[in-house]
Amino acid sequence: MRPVQERFYATEYPDLLVGLGTPDDAAVYRLDDERALVVTTDFFTPIVDDPYHYGAIAAANALSDVYAMGGTPVLALNIAALPPNLPLEMSTEIMRGLADKVFEAGAVIAGGHTIQDKEPKVGLAVIGMAHPDRLMTKTGARVGDVLILTKPLGTGTITTAAKNDKAEAVYVEEAVASMMRLNRAAAQAALKAQAKAATDVTGFGLPGHALEMADASQVTFLIEMERLPFLTGAKVYGEQWIFPGGTSDNKLAFEKSVRYEGSPTDEMKMLVFDTQTSGGLLIAVAPDQLSVFRAEMARQDSLWWQIGAVIEREAASLVFKA
Ligand code: CO
Ligand code: CO
């Protein structure tokens, strides 16, 4: 028997433009020359206390994988595993959070499935549409491209501080607002700027997702640490060394692909690996298209940061310059 991956890609499925053979943020299936389906699913355990925020963040995070491919969400299905003893008001609020975000994205919830489980897990299966020639994959970064990040980092350390009752409300609110924000404006601006490469920054942190793109594109990403945006609370809790297990795991897994230039502080060398929930898009934009990207983000009143550039491939996938 052939290995699983071989059975599901290659020449037998020419319309499966992105599948297991080329792991990316979502699967892409070509319907015809102008339309492709973008299909993805994501769900997770509670990241914040408030049930409405939990639902909205889970939805924004699931929708994000469609945006990261250059797609527009059209349909979503709820996925929920909820404890049988969860008060009805709570489950209603979670579902309202999911529904509001899907509506904001211009898509519709067309169904779903709920089961009982001790620990809550919610999210979405999402179907989006894209133009088959205008996909943003992990393979499309080119030497000379400018690297852009569209949300600040630090949700891992802040939500961990909140779980330990150590976080100030104002910092948690900032993190929640960021995690709830859709990556729609970023995706639209990237498409207008004819970007060919993007991904969304989530559990593996900036380095984990950046190196996937760099490796797939056979280039190296030079990231200037001083340009990296952080949520206000991130530096506060980072200084207190409050990090989730995922952040240490990321550092352990990905630091071997990093070369440091200059001498960043230990705290900074930990913060950059922070595991993210519903993070921003990391986009590679050709320098002559940067003004198009800038104009569209300004028109949509959306924040972004230029964090580095794509350089010739070297031994390290990522160079972090202090
Ligand atoms: Co993703
Ligand atoms: Co995902």
- DSSP of 218-272, one letter per residue? T-EEEEEGGG--B-HHHHHHHHTT---HHHHHHHHHHGGGEEEES---HHHHHHT
The answer to whether position 28 is within a domain reads: yes
pLDDT score of 40: 97
Q: Which pLDDT belongs to residue 112?
A: 95
Task: State the residue for tokens 């990040």.
Answer: 149
Q: For the domain that residue 165 is a member of, what is the CATH number?
A: 3.90.650.10
Count of domains for the chain: 2
| CA–centroid distance for 193 within its chain | 19
Helix (H, G, I), strand (E, B) or coil at 1: coil
pLDDT band at residue 233, thresholds of 50, 70 and 90?
Answer: very high
- CB-CB contact of 57 with 176 (8 Å): yes
Q: Provide the whole-model pTM.
A: 0.95
pLDDT at 166: 86
For residue 264, what are the domain limits?
A: 146-321
Same domain? For 315 and 222 the reply is: yes
- The answer to whether position 141 is within a domain reads no
**Confidence band for 3, pLDDT divided at 50, 70 and 90:** low
User: Which ligand is closest in space to the CA of residue 69?
Assistant: 1
Instruction: Please give all residues whose CB falls under 5 A of ion ligand 1, grouped by chain where several chains appear.
Output: 25, 65, 200
The mean pLDDT value for 106-126 works out to: 96
Angle of helix 169-180 relative to helix 155-163, nearest 10 degrees? 130
How far is the CA of 158 from the CAs of 27, 69, 249, in angstroms? 31, 28, 17
What is the CA(261)–ligand 2 centre distance, in A? Answer: 30
User: What is the rounded distance in angstroms from the CA atom of residue 269 to the CA atom of residue 264?
Assistant: 6
Of the listed ligands, the closest to the CA of 126 is 2
- Confirm whether 137 is domain-assigned: no
Section 213-231 average pLDDT? 97
pLDDT tens string 148-180: 999 999 999 999 999 988 899 999 999 999 999
Give the whole-angstrom CA distance, residue 314 versus residue 111. Answer: 47
Do 204 and 123 lie in a common domain?
no
Is 70 exceeded by the pLDDT of residue 10? no
Q: What percent of the chain has pLDDT above 90?
A: 93
Residue 136 has pLDDT above 80, yes or no: yes
Q: How far is the CA of 61 from the centre of ligand 1 (A)?
A: 8
- 212 and 117 share one domain: no
Tell me how far apart the terminal alpha carbons of the chain are, to the nearest angstrom.
50
CA of 76 to the centre of ligand 2 (A): 15
| Alpha-carbon separation of residue 80 from 37, 46, 87 (angstroms) | 23, 12, 15
pLDDT of residue 23: 79
Distance 171 CA to ligand 2 centre (A): 25
**pLDDT average, residue stretch 72-90:** 96
b/e burial code for range 21-43 (CB count within 10 A of at least 16 → b): eeebbbbbbbeeeeebbbbbebb
Q: Does the pLDDT value for residue 9 go beyond 90? A: no
- Inside any domain, residue 135: no
